[in-house]
Amino acid sequence: MFPSSLFAAVKLANQVDYGLTAGLHTQDPQDLAEWLDTIEAGNLYVNRGITGAIVQRQPFGGWKRSSVGGGTKAGGPNYLAGLGSWQPDLGSSSPTLHLRGLDSRIARIIEAAQPSLDYQAFDVLRRAALSDAIAWGTEFGEVKDASGLGIERNLLRYRPVPVSVRAVPGAELGEVLRVAIAAVRSRSRFTLSVASGLPQAVRAVLGDLDVPVSLETDDEWVARVVARGSAEAEVSGLPRADRVRIVGPADERVRLHGALARAVDGDPDLAIFSGAVTQAGRVELLPFLREQSISITAHRFGNPDPWSEEVI
């Protein structure tokens, strides 16, 4: 039985546990837009074969069980970032406290937190948000064609991924909010679980932004992550987390990372990020984003055919 529509075909394809490559043949911009918005695979091919990725044209790697950990693509701009660890460098304090140039949602979070932070913590958070804005404007928020072939469009873009953020006991407010503003910038549907309460003003802003915040123990949070995807979890209305970001003192992060990995029995569907929190947007946005390569044939019988440019 064949699917009766593109929507039905995509729904059927997305039921597979893996998501390495997918292909579509079409000249309809609306069909292309729908497919690009809904298909769950790391490398997408339009009007061409779905094998034969070429170095420096199509960075390669999949989604879901066709990836490992964060799933940064071989041949992509972030591949080396996933092979090491990063440590924070607070840098030099700024003589100004302005929030100009920031997304209004992020500025509201920082303003709400200001009375609860000392000068250094506020300045670090502000500069981290500015680093996110630069990384978003130059890399993560852009669709790039590095090859520039003309007859074939080889695009790299980033898609938000659901993440469960956990602040362990002893986590500093500035670090928790630094990760939260990275999540907001990435447009991820994330949840925030904390071991101790947040300032009322911060909690109110996060509520306005539809960010679910839970006050719970590590054990309660682990049990909820383990139950993700279950019928009970679906009823709760919380997004299923494909990734976890743990925030707090190093020993607590390592302990919880191990406890969660054992609880999910090494589930490959869950990537755990438990590194130190940094100011660098180039580092902190990655847990909330998936990479996706798109290769589109842009000619018909040798003649340039730019029809897909109006879509992406």
CATH number at residue 108: 3.40.50
Q: Other C-beta atoms within 10 Å of 101: how many? A: 11
Write the CB contacts of 311 (distance below 8 Å, at least 6 apart in sequence): 29, 32, 33, 36
Residues 285 and 224 both lie in one domain: yes
Q: Which two tokens stand for residue 187?
A: 């447009």
Residues 49 and 118 both lie in one domain: no
| pLDDT tens digits, one per residue of 93-121 | 777 777 888 999 999 999 999 999 999 99
Residues 56 and 182 both lie in one domain: no
Residues 194 and 210 both lie in one domain: yes
Residues 124 and 253 both lie in one domain: yes
Write the CB contacts of 238 (distance below 8 Å, at least 6 apart in sequence): 191, 212
pTM for this model (two decimals): 0.93
For residue 227, being part of any structural domain is answered with yes
Residues 199 and 270 both lie in one domain: yes
Q: Would you say 162 and 188 are in contact if contact means Cβ atoms under 8 Å apart?
A: yes
Say if residue 2's pLDDT is above 60: no
For residue 220, being part of any structural domain is answered with yes
Residues 225 and 129 both lie in one domain: yes
Residues 147 and 169 both lie in one domain: no
Residues 299 and 285 both lie in one domain: no
Residue 34's pLDDT is 96
Residues 200 and 102 both lie in one domain: yes
Q: At what angle do helices 200-208 and 104-113 cross, to 10 degrees?
A: 160
Number of domains in the chain: 2
Residues 285 and 295 both lie in one domain: no
Residues 38 and 28 both lie in one domain: yes
For 188, the domain range is: 83-135+160-289
Say if residue 268's pLDDT is above 60: yes
End-to-end CA gap in the chain: 32
Q: Which two tokens stand for residue 233?
A: 């979890």
Q: Model confidence at 235, in pLDDT bands (50, 70, 90)?
A: very low
| pLDDT tens digits, one per residue of 204-217 | 999 999 999 999 99
For residue 1, being part of any structural domain is answered with no
